[in-house]
Amino acid sequence: MAAPSMPRSWRRDTKPHKFCPGCGHGIALRALGQAIDHLGIQDRAIFGCDIGCSLLAWDFFNVDTVQTHHGRTTPVMTGIKRAKPDLVCVAYMGDGGGYAIGAQHLVNAAARNEEITVILINNTLYAMTGGQMAPTTMPGQKTETTPYGRDPELTGPPLLGPEMVAAITPEGAYVARGTVSKLKQLTKIMIRALQNQIEGRGFSFVEVLSTCPTNWRTNAEETWSFLEEKMPSYFTVGEIKVPAAEGDGNG
Nearer to other proteins, 82 or 217 (CB): 82
- Helix or strand holding residue 16 (H, E): none
Number of C-beta neighbours around residue 131 at 10 A: 18
Q: Cβ 75 to other proteins, closest distance in Å? A: 4
The least distance separating other proteins from the CB of residue 139, rounded to whole angstroms, comes to 30
Q: Which of 67, 127, 118 is nearest to 96 (CA)?
A: 127
Q: Scanning residues 5 to 34, which ones bind other proteins (CB under 8 A)?
A: 9, 11
Contact partners, residue 189, CB within 8 Å, separation at least 6: 31, 176, 178, 206, 239, 251
Evaluate whether 235 touches 160 at the Cβ level (below 8 Å).
Answer: yes
Contact with other proteins (CB under 8 A) among 6, 22, 38, 69: 69
- The reply to whether 130 sits near other proteins by the rule CB under 8 A is no
Question: Smallest distance, Å, CB 79 to other proteins?
Answer: 2
Q: Could you say which of 34, 78, 211, 214 contacts other proteins (CB under 8 A)? A: 78
Q: Between residues 58 and 234, which has the closer beta carbon with respect to other proteins?
A: 58
Contact status: 108 vs other proteins (CB under 8 A)? yes
Report yes or no: 161 and 99 within 8 Å, Cβ to Cβ: yes
Task: Compare residues 107 and 183 and give the one whose CB is closer to other proteins.
Answer: 107
CB atoms within 10 A of CB 238: 15
The single residue among 34, 65, 204, 223 that binds other proteins, judged by CB under 8 A, is 65
Which range, of 43-51, 156-164, 182-190, 230-238, touches other proteins by CB under 8 A? Answer: 43-51
- Residue 37 engages other proteins in binding (rule: CB under 8 A): no
CA distance 231 to 242: 23
Element (H, E) at 138: none
Q: How far apart are the first and last CA of the chain?
A: 31
Q: Indicate whether 141 belongs to the interface with other proteins (CB under 8 A).
A: no
Which of 25, 30, 33, 72 contacts other proteins by CB under 8 A? 72
**Does residue 110 bind other proteins (CB under 8 A)?**
no
How far, in Å, CA of 97 to CA of 27, rounded? 20
* Identity of the residue, 74 or 210, whose beta carbon is nearer to other proteins in the bound complex: 74
Burial class (CB in 10 A: 0-12, 13-18, 19+), 64: middle
How near is the Cβ of 156 to other proteins at its closest, in Å? 22
Q: What part of residues 144-203 is at the interface with other proteins (CB under 8 A)?
A: none
Q: Distance between CA 189 and CA 186 in Å, rounded?
A: 5
Which residues, other chains included, contact 84 with Cβ-Cβ below 8 Å and sequence gap of 6+? none
Question: Which residues here bind other proteins, judged by CB under 8 A?
Answer: 9, 11, 42-44, 46, 51, 55, 58-59, 61-70, 72, 75-85, 87, 104-105, 107-108
